[in-house]
Amino acid sequence: MKFAKPKKLSEIAQKTGAQLNSPEAGEVLVSGINTADTAESGDLVWAESKEAVEGLTGSPAAAAILPPASKGIAFPALVHPLPKLIFGMLIEEFIPVGLGDPSTSRIHPAAEIDPRAVIGGNVTIGAHTRVQAGAVIGNGCEIGENCMVAYNAVLNWGTRLGNRAIIHANAVLGTDGFGYVQKPVDGDPTTWESLKVPHAGCVIVEDDVEIGACVCIDRGLLQPTVIGKGTKIDNLVQIGHNCRIGPHNIIVGQVGFSGSITTGKNVIAAGQAGVADHSDIGDRAILMAGVKLAGKIPADSKLIGYPPMERSLFFRWATTLQDIVLVPKILRAAIESDNFDAFRQRLAETKMPERWFRLLGGMK
């Protein structure tokens, strides 16, 4: 994201309370802000992790925001114990205030806008799109043709819908990502407070996407959160900031995706699947109901359970676990029974699976 005009690093240091890592750094001009992995020429980048700091070598960025442990590197920098907090202060400059002037919006004559909907400034709405009562379309949103934004749905500022997108009632697109910086409370080092980091990315919904009721999709930090072409999302799903959901995914009710998750094409996430941040899910993977997972998931995987495992292995594991639980009961029945008939009766009372009776000589 680019500033209206370049700024000296000394000016930013004075505004934010960060320190310069050298007197010469104060004269460096920066034209915008970015993350270290997407840096462009002239950017001031947030570089807090070891990987981000090491990546500054050869980076086109003009300067970086660094933690004190890295202040000695030969790169113009602002130094602060909480680099992401400084980055958040700069992000605020790019966040619009208020809905804007509705008279600046461009609504196609063939669009159907309920008079009880709220339309912000600089909004674009295509032909044959319907916006129902109570919907809120924020500043700078773009909506394609033949879309439907249902009752009380909210598109926060900058959200972009492709053509033929359906947003069901009470869905909320473009809320801030769940991002905070923690620091000790003044006077009480045993207690940590959470300081908000604003988000200025947007949400992009591509063509032919359907988003269910009460779905929440967070905006990215700087880069967009993207829902790929043809994806269908059921009710009550949470998708965190900076996720990139691939084309033609199916995401079922109560799925939770943390931030910065990437999915391939034709991924299926069944009900209540939970995925940790920065996971990478391959093409055609199936995340079965209730699975909890993290990391890189190969294409064509079928995962279930926690810890997650392949479907066929999971059912063998579950069967084996059930058998292990039953072994002490069988031994106890054998010890406490006076004869074989009593033993068989005790086994029947344990409600053992059919296969155990077959293994024990067809006693049932």
E strand intervals along 55-212: 63-66, 77-79, 106-107, 112-113, 118-119, 124-125, 130-131, 136-137, 142-143, 148-149, 154-155, 160-161, 166-167, 172-175, 180-185, 188-196, 203-205, 210-211
Query: Residue 117 and residue 119: Cα distance in Å, rounded?
Result: 6
Q: Which residues contact 306 (CB under 8 A, 6 or more apart)?
A: 290, 291, 292, 293
Query: Residue 140 and residue 100: Cα distance in Å, rounded?
Result: 8
Measured in degrees and rounded to the nearest 5, phi and psi for residue 188 equal -145, 85
**Using CB atoms within 10 A of its CB, is residue 214 exposed (0-12), middle (13-18) or buried (19+)?**
middle
Is residue 108 part of the annotated active site? The answer reads no
**Helix 340-349 and helix 311-336, axial crossing angle in degrees, nearest 10:** 140
Pure H helices in the chain: 9-16, 50-54, 83-91, 311-336, 340-349, 354-359
Q: Which residues pair with 2 in a beta bridge?
A: 32
Bin 230: left if φ > 0, else alpha if -120 < ψ < 50, else beta.
Answer: left
Q: Which is the catalytic residue, given 128, 241, 248, 278?
A: 241
**Using CB atoms within 10 A of its CB, is residue 57 exposed (0-12), middle (13-18) or buried (19+)?**
exposed
Measured in degrees and rounded to the nearest 5, phi and psi for residue 357 equal -65, -35
Q: What angle do CA 344, 346, 348 make, to 5 degrees?
A: 70
Q: Which residues pair with 161 in a beta bridge?
A: 143, 205
Positions marked active-site: 241
